[in-house]
Structures are given as C-alpha cells and as structure tokens.
Amino acid sequence: MIHSDLIIIGSGPGGYRAAHHAALHGLSVVIIEKAEAGGTCLNRGCIPTKTLCRNAEIVDTLRHADTFGLMGEGYSLDFGRVMERKQEIVGQLRSGVETLMQTPGITLVRGTASFADAHTVAVGNEQYTAENIIIATGSDSKCPPIEGTTLPGVVTSTELLDIDHLPKRLCIIGAGVIGMEFASVFSSFGSNVTVIEFLKECLPVLDSDIAKRLRQTIGKRGVEFYMQSAVKSITQTDAEDGTKQLTVSFEKKGKPVSIDADMVLIATGRKPCTEGLALEQAGIEHSPKGIVVGDDFQTNVSGVYAIGDVNGRCLLAHAATFQGLHVVNRILNRPDDIRFDVMPSAIFTNPEAASVGLSEDQLKAEQRPYECRKGFYRSNGKALAMNETDGMIKLLVDTTNDQRIVGCHAFGAHSADMVQEIAALMNSGTTLQQLANIIHIHPTLSEILHDMAL
C-alpha cells in the first residue's frame, strides 16, 4: 500500500493543474490516468476542435481573398494534412503535460482507479491511500434514446475528430457548443451541413438574442437549421448511386421530415464519467447528473472532492482547472478569491461567440432592474479593416447598484477576448462609469466596449 498526501483520479485540465499546484506547495501527489495524459480536453475536445476551427477560419478568409486584393490565388483543401496537423498539436501538448507530471512530488500511475474505501484507491493489484482525494474523471458523449445511433457512420465528437475523409453531407443532431462548432468547421471545409435541434434556439448558454443572430450568420454561409425538431430515428438506406447512406427522420412542429446524410454527428450533451469508480464502496453520493458536491467541491465524504465535468456543475475545462486549484488551496489552508459566479465561456464558431455573467433573458426572468447597452462591429474601424463586420455585443448592468456590470454576451471576431476583459472587470465589481474611464487602445475591437460605456 502506497500513501501520499493527495490522490487525483484523472489527468485532464482539472487533474494535472491541481497536481502541479499541490506539488509546488509541498504535497506528495499520486495522479492516476487510465488513458492519455491531458484528458478529453487535450486529446478529444478543446484542443483538436480549436485546431480545426483555425483551419476553417483560414479557409473562410481565402474565400474572400479578393477583398484584400489577392486575385487568382486558388487553393485546395488537403483534409489529410488538416487532421495530421491536429494530431501534431495534440501530441506536442500531451508531451508537455507528461513532462509536467514529472515534477518532484508527483507520481503518475497508469491504470483504472476504483475506490476500495473512502480513502483507499485500487489500481490493478496496488492500493493507494491519502487523506485527500480529488475525482477529476471528466465526461463522455451522451447519446439520446433513438433508433439507429449504433449504425456505421453515426459518430460522436470523439470519432468525428479521427475521420480520414471529408463527408459530403453531414447531419448534426444538437445545436449546443459541440454541434455549432462542428457545423461551422465542416461547412467551411465544404461539407453540406444540416443541424437538427429540439429547442427553440441554439446555444442555450448564450443570451437568446446573441444566439439567434449567430445562428442566422452561420445560416447565411449555407448551414441549414431545423429548430424545434425531435429526431425519431436514423436508418441506413440506399442512395441513388447504389451506395449506403443515412436517413434521419424527425418531426418539426408535428410534421414528419427526413434528410439524407453520409455521416451523422450526435452532439446532444455529455454525461459524467463515474463508471468503474466504485463510488458506493466509498459511500460517495452521486446521480446521473454527476457527483454531488458542496460549494468547496467536497462530496458527502470528508476529504473527497469532485471537480470538473464529473460534478456536473459547469462543463468547461477552465472551470475544472480553477475548481481544482481551489480544492488544493482548501487542503493547504490557503485562502483564495476565485469567483465561480464569474465564469466566462466561448464558442469557437466563425464568427465566434462568448459570454460571462447574467443574460438579458435571466435578468428579465428574475425581474431585476437592469440596463442593456449594445455595440456593433460594423461601426468599428478595426472590424472594418479586418473585414469582420458581423458582430454584436450586449453589456448588462444592474441599475440598482451603481450600474455595476453583471453580464456580457457577444458574437463576432475575437469576442472571447473582449468578454475576458469584462470578466476581469466583473471580478473587481466594476461599474459602467469605471469602464468608461479606462483608456482603450485605438484602433482595436475592444473600443466597442468603451463606446458602449459612454
């Protein structure tokens, strides 16, 4: 039996950052990983998808090359090279995480972890004990209970990131972050993309006004959307050329509709990875939504914590990272001022979208007095120079509290960068007048934020 100060199960952004932080402050750490170092985010999520997003952005820019005076410069997309570049970047970053796990004080254990009791974890024939344990096992793709999800050509984001050819027709079920990013990417690459969504609007994490405008912008590029539509089945049928194809049948406002595709992406959400952990052996409370935790991410078992996707609170890599840092700080009795109510997020479509804090929809639902300021890219000099005039920002302030900023939702080029500025200001309780007093560089997109505050 091997004893350490801290055991971490999972080496994704939450796990490996927590391990490094703990080791730097003198704790002995055992981190257990059953697959690749870096977790879903690095290997099958954030990093590979953002690599593809960058490729797609370049393709979109080349389509408008004549706007910049580049005439007759033809190009062709080498999809194999696109995927090869993705793997190179993933490999480089994974190697970096593995090097980080060689920090003195950290022991990386390869294998599948399961609880033997509340403070003992088994990996194969070896047992590890610690006073404090962090569960950081992340999440997996969740498939809806519809017929045909196991057919060849029906994939989750994991399989789509490893395909070796560009599908001519791609049908995406789900218009959340994953579905919208892949819709944008594969449309740019040249696929005919259709998105089917059960809800009235895409991206429920966003302000509905921003989400609608983003969907319309992407729709103008050729992506076809079927909103308020319920998928009934996926079947394999014969195409006109005799090859096999997939037919997705669904209902839109009570009327049956079907579309044909060469590949179908299931992008209907994520589920926590708890299978095989033997949580019952430790008495850890959990549900299909995730491991139940309190405000400090401690489970019902003292000294056992759950961070990131596995607790179901906020399915973002940076949320997992900061939850992990907070837990380690708590173990070390080091106070911090991390504000988990100020959680920025981004969707890397083209144009991208981002948000932090409350939306106008939420403020209306809570009947809170507020003011909404709007800014548009089309009147910004840098946006015009970039040929990126599709974009809008909404800044929301509390009119009962010195016009303190309580939210920002945006779509348009580099909107994530501008929302990050607002997130920093919100962490300091900044008011609209204080934003107006901050000098912004000219010419930049961030001047849109300054103009909104005047």
Angle at 275 between CA 274 and CA 276, to 5 degrees: 110
Contact by Cβ (8 Å): 309, 139: yes
Pairing state between β 154-155 and 263-266: parallel
Contact by Cβ (8 Å): 357, 427: no
Residue 202: closest CA among 226, 183, 176: 176
CA–CA gap between residue 418 and residue 430 (Å, rounded): 15
Q: Which two tokens stand for residue 107?
A: 């022991």
Asked if omega into 48 is within 30° of 0 (cis), the reply is no
- Concatenated DSSP letters of 135-160: E---EEE---S-BTTTSTTEE-HHHH
Instruction: Determine phi and psi for 272, rounding to 5 degrees.
Output: -65, 145
Catalytic position from the list 20, 119, 442, 450: 442
Residue 244: helix, strand or coil by DSSP?
strand
Give rounded-to-5 percent helix, strand, coil for the chain.
Answer: 35, 30, 40
Q: Which two tokens stand for residue 52?
A: 């593809």
Instruction: Determine phi and psi for 32, rounding to 5 degrees.
Output: -110, 130
CA–CA gap between residue 60 and residue 23 (Å, rounded): 44
Q: Which two tokens stand for residue 270?
A: 């994520």
Active site residue 286: no
CA–CA gap between residue 326 and residue 297 (Å, rounded): 9
Residue 448: closest CA among 372, 391, 370: 391
- HSE-up of residue 382 (Cα within 13 Å, Cβ side): 13
The one-letter amino acid at 379: S
Contact by Cβ (8 Å): 39, 171: no
Q: Where are the beta strands (DSSP E) in 212-285?
A: 224-226, 229-238, 244-252, 255-261, 263-266, 270-272
Q: Which positions are annotated as active-site residues? A: 442
